[in-house]
Each structure stands twice: as structure tokens, then as C-alpha cells.
Structure 1
Amino acid sequence: MDFAAAFTRDPQAAPYPVRCDATAAAGFAVLAVALALTVDDGRRPDAVGWALLLAAHVPLAWRRRAPLPVLLAVVACVAPYHALDFMHLAPIPASMTALYTVAATGRPKRTLLVGLSVVSITLTMQLVVNPHEMVELLRVSGWVIAMLVFGASIRLYRQLVAGLVERAEREAERKVAEERLRIARDLHDLLAHSITLIGVQASVAAHVLVADPDRLDRKALVGALEGISETCREARAEVRTTLHVLRAAPEGPLPDLASLPDLVRSSGADLTVRTGEAKVPAAVGAAAYRIVQESLTNAVRHGGPDPRVRVDVGLVDEALTVRVTNSVAAAGGGATGTTAPHAASAGSGYGIIGMRERARSVGGTLSAGPRDGGGFEVAAALPLAERKVTV
């Protein structure tokens, strides 16, 4: 067994405590008999002495189940043994083991009270047997106090290790939860955007087929079907990348600002990028890409039959700004800004929440809501320098 693990583990939670302690008690009993026969420190035990000496080791089999009762039982056997001036060193291992167990498993207050009681009993017995041996009195008291301090130190060490392990487990659980949330956002953004585009392109194809069968616009139909095919290929590639992340073997770079033109072009929106030569961290670029992707998905889904969407990316005060605006009135005379929030909330409800979480994950902020004069706007500010994220 690892020595460090033995000290770290809670003694009362160890497997087979009675069996292990009974084996240890038998070993201590053999050692006590050997000491009683070989060491000249008091008179050799007689029948009563042997009975008391061996009886003092029996309770040790349950020392982890009931530390304090075991200590009392050991003291009840050892005290008369010492009072009869039998070989004093023989029962010391059993006595020290019982003391250590109480100190290692009990609270500080109980350990202090037990220590005072044991020292008092020990001094009383020593004064009765050898009233003139002051050095022996100090030595015995020192051993008792040292064993109690050692046991209390082990208990504090175990508590410290348990606290560190618990903190590490909580941190690991938090990271797992964050990773799951990130993957959920990726899947939501990817699938929602791709499925929305496929739906729009399929509607175009259906319209071409049924609008005027005699004058079928084959070019428009082929374009819509090719768009569906291309969107499916892109979705499949990104899903494959996400699955590699799940398997802890990611392949391919994260989406970034360089990927925005293709994304915006597929949605028919206008794009303006004003970042110059600024170096955008990968996490910030990925967050900006996903925010634009989700905003375009919502614009296509809720922006009416002919949405006019504009994407503007720039730099303001060491922060990357992302602004996606839809300035088209919805069918029926209502403004998109008045219908988009309702439509978004009527769906899964995770779109705007996911965008806010993405912005917050890199220390930024995001706002989304109706524009003055109609339409809907999503605006995010993502700091380029690392900031402490607050949840």
C-alpha cells in the first residue's frame, strides 16, 4: 500500500477495518510479549500481569470503529498493569496506538480532554510506582503529548487533502459543464444556421417548380439545389469537427473572422470588416463568428420574405465590435424589430442566450433588441485583451 495514501485516507473509511486492526493488534501483542521477556524495566509479569498485558491488546481490533471506548478499555488494563510495577515498556505500543487513533479521528476539543485525562492518569500511576523519578515523569508525559499531537496533525493533513481533492473535483465538474455548454452552443449555432438555409433554399426550389411549370427556370432551380448540397457538406464538415472535439482529438482550426465572408455571402447579407492589422485572439474570433452566424440565422428565419441584413465588424477601445442589423419590415406591415424578439422567444429560446454566453466567455457583452424605426439589432463588444470573466 502507498505510504502517502495510507495517511491521506480516512481511517474509518478503510476496507476491512476490524480484520486489519485485529491483525495489527496481534502483532502488537507479540511485540509486547517479546519486550516483557527481554527488557529489564520493572519486574517480569506473572499470571495477572500477562492477563492484563494481553487483554490490553484485544480492544485494538475495534479501534477505528469506536476509538474512545477502545482507549478507555486499554487504559483500564494498562493502569493496573503499571501500578503493579510490571515491565513498563511492554504495553506502550498498544497505549500509543489507542491514543493516536483518538487524536486522528476526533475533534480537537475531545483530543485535548483525552490528553489531559491520560496524562493525569499516567502521572498518578508514575507517582505511585516511582515517586522520585522526575525524569521518567517528563519522558512519559512527553510521549503521550507527542502521540496526541502527531494524531491531530495527521487528522488536519487528511482534512486538507480532502478539501483539495473536493475542490479539484468541483473544478473538473465545472470545466466539463462549460465544455458541454460550449459544444451545445456550437451544435445549436451550426445546425440552426444550416437547417435554416436549407429550408430557405428548398422553398426557393419549390417556388420555382410550382410558380410557372410551363416556363421552368432551370438555372434558378439548379442553383437552389446546389446551395442545399453545399450547405449540407459544410454542416457535415463542422459536425465532424465538433465530434472530434468531443473525443478530445480536435482537428481543424476554430472559425474566425477570415471565415466571415463565406458565411455572410451564403446568407445574402452585406459585410463590412474594419479591423486593420489588429491581432484578434482565436477565442474572440470564434465567438464573433458564432454570434454573426446565429444572428444571420435569426434574420433569415424571422426577417420576412426579403430580409436586408448588414454585418459590421470593427475595433473600438481595444475591443472587437460586432453589429448585425435587419432593417426590413416584416410582412403585414409590422416591423421586424417587433416580431423578431417574439419569434425568437417562441422557439427554443437558446439563440440570444447562447450569444450572450459566447460574449461573456471571452469577457465581453452583448445586447439584442428592436431598433429605433424598425428592425432588429444584435451588438457585441468583445475585448481583445484577456479579462476576468464574471458569471
Structure 2
Amino acid sequence: MQQPQTAARPRLGERVLTAVSRDPLTSPHRARNDAVLAAAVGALALVLALTVQSGRRPDALGWVLLAGSVVALAWRRSRPMAVLLAVLLCIVPYHAADNTHIAPVPGSLLALYTVAATARPLHTLLIGIGVIGAAVTVMFQVDSHQGLETLRTSGWILAVLIFGVDVRTYRRYIASVVGRAERAERTREEEAARRVAEERLRIARDLHDLLAHSITLIGVQTSVASHVLTVDPDRLDRAAIAKALDDITDTCRTARGELRTTLEVLRADGSDGSDGPDAAGPLPDLSALPGLVRAARADLEVRTGRTRIAPAVEAAAYRIVQESLTNAVRHGGPGVRIRVAVAAADGHLRVTVTDDGTAPGATEGSGYGIVGMRERARSVGGTLAAGPRDGGGFEVAAALPLQQSEALA
């Protein structure tokens, strides 16, 4: 038994781009990932506080303030502004006490980046000015050398803010592109559904106008015959019964002819009807295929034997071949080779049209030709599949029931 294939795992670069493109406020596992990141930042801050000589080693209050600035990062994406405020409230007294100044820097930059990636650019600019001003002011109060050093390295704060704004702009661009693609796809699907619904409504309206009168006449004539048979059976008026039955026969014959003509019009491809097999009136059948295939310079193979095929099925097969040849000639590129095979097997008429075209236009879902062919196959109780071939080109394969009862079911 063949095992189901599993989807290939995305590459590292693809996963990184997906994570960068995703809205941080809607990404999955947001709280868990932020907690893990906060723990990593806390470990880094601990190492920096113990190893780097930049101020004195934190005392008990310093450790509490440093831990508070790190723990707040666990909620950085759900409450970015509140987290930044909490971080500032912790690190301002931390720096004022001349604790190791490098230790809270990673957490502070992460909080600033989160705000820049989620807030408006104007708000980010104001926040950046406020943070740099506060940091320089605090460090000048500690020591003039530290204040000058903070002013010199404030470019890192600006770089983090600019990077956050760029990421936010990129995410908004990706969201707009995806939104436009989804709207375009919905529009195409809605347009296809609308066209199918309009065509079905038109067919229903034409068939109603055609058959309502004839069925009403048949009902009246049947009532007349029934009345003659039941009112006075001893004085049976054979002439009246015969006339009523003849009228029913004539009405059925007329309705059948009108229905055939209506189906011919409904199955027309939009031409003026002056040329082709529909000009003479009857529905096209398999005998008209050689001329159609010859005009498209395609190869034809017909193997139906003496099998009896319903006229509606023959008409559907003809129209499917006609639309397939049109698509192949239009999209297959210059010199395209087309093969048409029609065969009766297993109670179905199987129609296959293949080509070796290389042009990109003949893809499934382009236009409404394939939708129309599927509707034609479904109208006689059959199925149709269309799509690119493995070895190149395109293939249309239809299976239509042979019997009249199945075709009209």
C-alpha cells in the first residue's frame, strides 16, 4: 500500500521570511515564543552583568531592576508600549545607581524594536527622541564621560528604530499584496459562478417558454380523451378519442422539434450559424468531427463500432472537442500537434483531446472554456477532467454515458 506523501519542510530562509512577514500581533504561539526570548535575553544580561566592567556590579536592588526589565519582555508583542514603559521604569534607576550599564541594553533594544515594528512611524520618532534624551540625561548625571559615551552610541538606538520601521513597512506591503491576490481570486470565482448561474437561468427560462404550452395542450387533450371514455362508455365516440390521441401525437412531435431547435441554439458557440454543422438545423454529431478536426490540422481516431449513442451525447462530445481544439490552437503555440480520440467502452463515450503545446496560456482555470465543457459533460450525466500533462502540453478527457436514459437522467 502506497504511503501518503508528506509535505516538504520549508527551508530555513523561507521560515525566516515567513516569520518576518507575519503580523506580530497575530502570529501563532506568540506568548510562548516571547517568554522563551525573554529568558534568553535574561541569560545574556546575567552574563554581561557578571563579566563586563562597565560600572559596578549590581547590588540586590540592581538585580531586581534588571530582572524586572527582562520579565516584562514576555508580553512585548501583546502590550508593546506598556512593556517599553516598564523597561524604562526599571533601567532608569538601574543606570542612575551606576550598575553595569551594558547588561540591560539587549532587552531595551528589543523593547524599542517591538514598538517600532508595531507603532506608527511618527510615534516611533517621538519615542526614539524621548528615549535618547532620557538616556543621555541620566548618564550625564552619573558621569560626564558616561554621558558622552551614551550620546556617541545613541546611533544604535536610531538604527534599531529604523530597522523596526522598515520591518513594519515590509509587512504592510506583503499584507497588501496578499490581500489583492485574494480579492482577485474571489472576483474570478464569483464571475465564473455568476456566468454559470446566468446560463442556467437562461436555459431554464427558454425550456419553460418552450415546454409550458406544449405540456398544457397535452394535459387538455388527455382530459378530453379521459372524459369521452368515462362519461358514457356505452356510446363510445371512437372518432373523438382518435382525434384527441392524434392531437397529442402532433403536439409531442412539435414539442420535440422545438426542443431540438432550442438545444441547438443553447449549444451554439456564438457564431452566426451560417457555417458549420448547426446551419442545417439538427444537433452536431460525431459524423461532423472529421471536418472540425481537419480544420484544426489535428489527428482523429474514432472507435465507436455499431454502438448506439444518444444524440445529446454526440452533441456534447462534438462541443467538447470543438472547445478543446480552440483552446489548443489559441494557447498551444506555433506548430502545436493535437490528437483527438473518441471511443466507446464500458458503457461510456470517452473523448480525449491532447496537445504538446508549450505556451503558458493553456492552463486550467484560465477563462471559462473549461467551465463550459464541464457543464456540457455534466448536462448529459458525464464527467470531464482537464489539466497540464506530465510530459508537457494539455489534456482534456471526458467520459459521457452512451444510453439516452442515462444522458437525460
Q: Give the TM-score normalised by structure 2.
A: 0.52
8 A contact 1:208–1:216 mirrored in 2: no
Structure 1: 5+ residue runs without aligned partners? 240-252, 267-391
Residue 189 of structure 2 corresponds to which residue in structure 1? 176
> Comparing 65-74 with 130-139, which one deviates more in the overlay?
130-139
Task: Indicate conservation of the 8 Å contact 1:190/1:238, yes or no.
Answer: no
Equivalent in 115, 125, 137 of residue 150 of structure 2:
137
Letter in 1 for 2:133: S
More deviation in 152-161 or 225-234? Answer: 225-234
Matched residue, 1:213: 240
Q: Would the alpha carbon gap of residues 238 and 147 (structure 1) be closer, same or farther in structure 2, given more than 3 Å must change?
A: farther
Change (3 A) 1:257 1:40: same
2:300 maps to what in 1?
none
What's the CA shift for 1:35? Answer: 2.1
Shift of 1:205: 4.7
What is the identity, as a one-letter code, of the residue corresponding to 1:179? A
Which of the residues 133, 147, 168 maps onto 1:155?
168
Q: Contact (CA 8 Å) 2:69, 2:104: kept in 1 or not?
A: yes
The one of 78, 81, 93 aligned to 1:80: 93
How far, CA to CA, are the matches of 1:259 and 1:208 in structure 2? 36
The 1-side partners of 2:191 and 2:97 are apart by: 69
Report deviation, 1:74: 0.8
Q: Is the 2:140–2:148 contact (alpha carbons within 8 Å) kept by the matching residues of 1? A: no
Structure-1 separation of matches of 2:218 and 2:65: 99
Query: What is the TM-score with the length of structure 1 in the denominator?
Result: 0.54
Deviation for aligned residue 1:88:
2.4
Larger deviation, residues 121-130 vs 185-194:
121-130
Letter in 1 for 2:76: R
**Mapped partners of 1:101, 1:259: distance in 2:** 68
Equivalent residue, structure 2, for 1:5: 18
Which sections of structure 2, spanning at least 5 residues, go unmatched?
1-9, 226-238, 283-409
Distance (Å, rounded) in 1 between the aligned partners of 2:280 and 2:203: 14
2:270 counterpart residue number: 256
Q: Does 1:70 align with 2:97?
A: no
Q: 1:151 to 1:190 in 2, by over 3 A?
A: same
Q: Which residue of 2 aligns with 1:225?
A: 252
- Other structure's SS at 2:122 match: helix
Cα RMSD, aligned residues only? 3.8
Aligned-partner Cα distance in 1 for 2:160–2:121: 14
CA distance in 1, matches of 2:246, 2:61: 111
The alpha-carbon deviation at position 185 of structure 1 amounts to 0.8
1:223 Cα deviation after fit: 5.5
* Identical columns (%): 38
Q: How does 1:158-307 map to 2 (within 5 A)?
A: 158-203=171-216, 205=218, 213=240, 216=243, 221-222=248-249, 224-226=251-253, 228=255, 255-257=269-271
The 1:99/1:234 distance shift into structure 2, 3 A limit, reads farther
| One-letter code aligned to 1:255 | D
Deviations, residues 231-250 of structure 1 (Å, cap 9, x unaligned): 778999999xxxxxxxxxxx
- Structure 2 distance, partners of 1:42, 1:237, is 93
Distance 1:48 1:14 in 2: 36
Deviation at 1:166, TM superposition (A): 2.8
Distance 1:203 1:73, change over 3 A: closer
* Structure 2 counterparts to residues 359-370 of structure 1, below 5 A: none
User: How far apart, in 2, do the equivalents of 1:80 and 1:234 lie?
Assistant: 92
Q: Which amino acid aligns with 2:271?
A: L
- Kindly provide the CA deviation profile for residues 356-383 of structure 1, in whole angstroms up to 9, marking residues without a partner as x: xxxxxxxxxxxxxxxxxxxxxxxxxxxx
Q: How many residues align?
A: 253
Counterpart position of 1:325: none
Distance 1:112 1:219, change over 3 A: same
| 1:39 is the counterpart of 2:40 | no
